[in-house]
Chains A and B, each alone.
Chain A
Amino acid sequence: MRAQPRTLYQKIWHDHIIDNSTDDGTCLIYIDRHLVHEVTSPQAFEGLRMQKRKVRCLERTLAVMDHNVPTTDRSLPIEEKDSRIQIETLRNNCKEFGVELFDLTDKRQGVVHIIGPEQGFTLPGMTIVCGDSHTSTHGAFGALAFGIGTSEIEHVLATQTLIQKPGKNMRINVNGKLGTGVTAKDIILHIIGTIGTAGGTGYVIEYAGDTIQSLSMEGRMTICNMSIEAGARAGMIAPDQTTFTYIKGRPKAPKGENLDKAIEYWKTLYTDEGAAFDREISINAEDIPPTVTWGTTPEDVVSITGKVPSPEDFDNPGKQAEVRRMLEYMGLEPGTKIRDIKIDKVFIGSCTNGRIEDLRAVAKIAAGKKVANGVEAMVVPGSGLVKALAEQEGIADILIKAGFEWREAGCSMCLGMNPDQLKPGERCASTSNRNFEGRQGRGGRTHLCSPSMAAAAAITGKLTDVREF
């Protein structure tokens, strides 16, 4: 009998089931990799301590501090007391339980979703979790990666497993050639605009099609990263030669014979012909414009050539009420041309767009230009290693000369848990992933966009069509 065709997700899920004896489909699954950061882990370690439990698999666990870290001089003490306590708590917990930690002054330190792939800790076919919703990023390697809460962190630390029910399967096919100036960020913003912020709820999304296959690992990570913004816990892309080439030679990646054996297995990780999806969507790459958000959810997207919508453009009364609220919060009038919107700040960084390729794109736009008067533009590399490489490639020089601030690695103004925040009413073009009210600072107004669009905005002082740049 021929085996039933399976999706990529089903293959990985199946390979990790320890126990599926309950009637309602709940399974105990094995977790191959666990990433830990300072914000969501203290209560989990505390739980272990209270129950006198240990961390079960130290070699599958890696910790880093990223959310609270200052992006200025690291040799100075952290001023904010609560941030300092959280960072020290992680340091002490890692020491007590023996977990490997990339500490503040380690050059490998950075945003948790940047360092996993960078170290070769993230590999295809794995189950990867972290107490952070953007764990979906790691799905770019053909891994099943998703965010978990603190109780589940404790569960994984203690047992290296999770109790889970399988999700539904969705495939989003993107085919065709991307237009000039259109990047992975525009693809995913466009997708979220199409399916909505709850469109992926309950699903694991597989991104497929020739446009996706043609993307670099960095671009694939940008796409999978924002799966959660479409409501999906996980997004994934089948591994291929691009993936294997990226992995080879990374510090924690397999080597020699082990690598060959791994690649042999990784090559089986794709959706079988004829496998059934609960939902399938096709998107034509040519239809995707350079995209920005105008509202306070990531589904409120518009083409850079478009206008701010009005509540009447929407059918659902609930959405109309939300649109009214968003327009007020964002300080926008319906009908305003997007390209006429002036900005005060620019943030380039985050686990969505803080990788080397993103910084190269920024440098390309910024070379020989100047940040507009009155605009503050901040570049925060995703990791210490990204920073070092950008300095080596001359990117840092270009950006500093153009008037950008060049910072230390961390989450920074993606959520402003450290001092990098918007002030009330300030408007920001940001390469991060969430434009929620208050996300980047209370009263702050966020427009999500790609790195090159953010760079162009920094230079003109307005949201700008990168194609005319």
Chain B
Amino acid sequence: MQPFTKLSATAAPLDMINVNTDVIIPKQFLKTVKRTGLGISAFYDIRYDDNGNERPDFVLNKPEYKSAQILITGENFGSGSSREHAPWAILDMGIRCIIAPGFADIFYNNCFKNGILPITLPEDQVTSLMEEAKTNPKNLIEIDLEKQTITRGNTHSYSFDIEPFRKHCLLNGLDDVGLTLQKEASIATFENKINENKPWV
């Protein structure tokens, strides 16, 4: 996994609430057996028309937002299914950070496994960043994970919360499986206990 430390990038405003995983990556693209290559299909139904042409009014099709690495969006982003194809597709489009007033649990969790930083901010701060991204699309937003800050220009700075363990893993690009396997002895002890006390498990 690619570590996430600092990001200085433009942001795209996706001004919708409840953007669910079926919108982020529709089912016909779940048939892949790979993790990569999904970016072109991300947001398919709202991004392309019936003939497969880009809809000019969809935010990520607009030239000024095509290279955005930050997505600013409404509440309950990523609701619906557990498909990790959703963060894979978003990452494959080049987005490394999503800012919203709230995320669905599984999606939020899946982001961390793929080096994407989801940031939850109070509604008014998200609205302010969203407006800024709409009016000044070229302005960069700086995200510093170590300091847990979002800075826009020299004036605005917000701080955000993140669980220390997730932060540690993201900063260092750590693979969970490797970390857990270091606890092999405790897992084995736990297993023995189950076999003894709960033989039906």
Contacts and interface: CB of A to CB of B under 8 A. Distances in A.
Interface of A: 18-19, 22-24, 26, 28, 30, 32, 39-40, 42-43, 46-47, 51, 53, 60, 67-68, 80, 82-83, 85-86, 89, 123, 125-126, 131-133, 135, 146-152, 154-155, 158-161, 163, 165, 197-198, 201-202, 228, 231, 233, 253-254, 258-259, 261-262, 265, 297, 318-319, 321-322, 415-417, 424, 434, 436-439, 442
B190 A86 contact: no
B200 A261 contact: yes
A32 B200 CA distance: 10
A167 B34 CA distance: 31
B199 A319 contact: no
Interface in B184-201: 186-187, 190-191, 194, 198-201
Interface in B155-201: 163-165, 176-177, 179-181, 183, 186-187, 190-191, 194, 198-201
A149 B22 contact: no
Contacts of A161: 180, 183, 187
A2 B76 CA distance: 40
Contact of B82 (A23, A26, A83, A149): A149
B79 interface: yes
Interface string B71-89: 0001110011111100100
A439 B104 CA distance: 18
B26 A26 contact: no
B31 interface: yes
B28 interface: yes
Contacts of B113: 149, 151-152
A42 B80 contact: no
A318 B17 contact: yes
A30 B105 CA distance: 20
7 contacts: A53-B177, A149-B83, A151-B113, A231-B79, A261-B200, A318-B17, A417-B31
Interface string B15-34: 01110101100111011111
Contact of A198 (B26, B102, B180): B102
Contacts of A28: 180, 183, 186-187
A147 B82 contact: yes
Contacts of A297: 18, 20, 79
Interface string B29-43: 011111100000000
A318 B75 contact: yes
Contacts of A415: 27
A154 B20 CA distance: 24
B135 to A, nearest CB: 19
B191 to A, nearest CB: 8
Contact of A438 (B22, B190, B201): B22
Given A89-B33, A159-B181, A439-B22, A18 B190 contact: yes
A241 B123 CA distance: 46
Contact of B165 (A22, A155, A197, A438): A22
Nearest to A82: B31
Contacts of B76: 197-198, 201, 231
B5 interface: no
A155 B34 contact: no
A133 B82 contact: yes
B109 A322 contact: no
B96 to A, nearest CB: 17
A146 B198 CA distance: 21
6 nearest A-B residue pairs (beta carbon): A254-B200, A82-B31, A151-B113, A42-B33, A147-B82, A149-B110
B45 to A, nearest CB: 5
A6 B103 CA distance: 28
B82 A158 contact: no
Given A68-B31, A151-B113, 6 more contacts: A23-B164, A24-B164, A43-B33, A83-B31, A133-B81, A146-B106
A424 B109 CA distance: 33
B176 A163 contact: yes
B10 interface: no
Given A24-B164, A82-B32, A439-B22, A158 B181 contact: yes
B104 to A, nearest CB: 6
Given A133-B80, A163-B180, A165-B163, A86 B187 contact: no
Interface of B: 16-18, 20, 22-23, 26-28, 30-35, 45, 50, 74-76, 79-84, 87, 102-106, 109-110, 113-114, 163-165, 176-177, 179-181, 183, 186-187, 190-191, 194, 198-201
Contacts of A434: 22, 80
Nearest to B110: A149
A378 B30 CA distance: 24
Contacts of B20: 297, 436
A86 B179 CA distance: 30
Nearest to A164: B109
Contacts of A442: 26, 45
A132 B79 CA distance: 13
A46 B34 CA distance: 9
Given A51-B177, A123-B200, A18 B31 contact: no
Contacts of A202: 105
Given A22-B165, A417-B28, A151 B114 contact: yes
A131 B114 CA distance: 16
Nearest to B198: A265
A424 B50 CA distance: 10
Contacts of B105: 201-202, 231, 233
A197 B79 contact: yes
Contacts of A228: 80
Contacts of B16: 321-322
A450 to B, nearest CB: 21
Contacts of B31: 39, 68, 80, 82-83, 85-86, 417
A404 B84 CA distance: 36
Contacts of A47: 177
Contacts of A135: 82
A259 B199 CA distance: 10
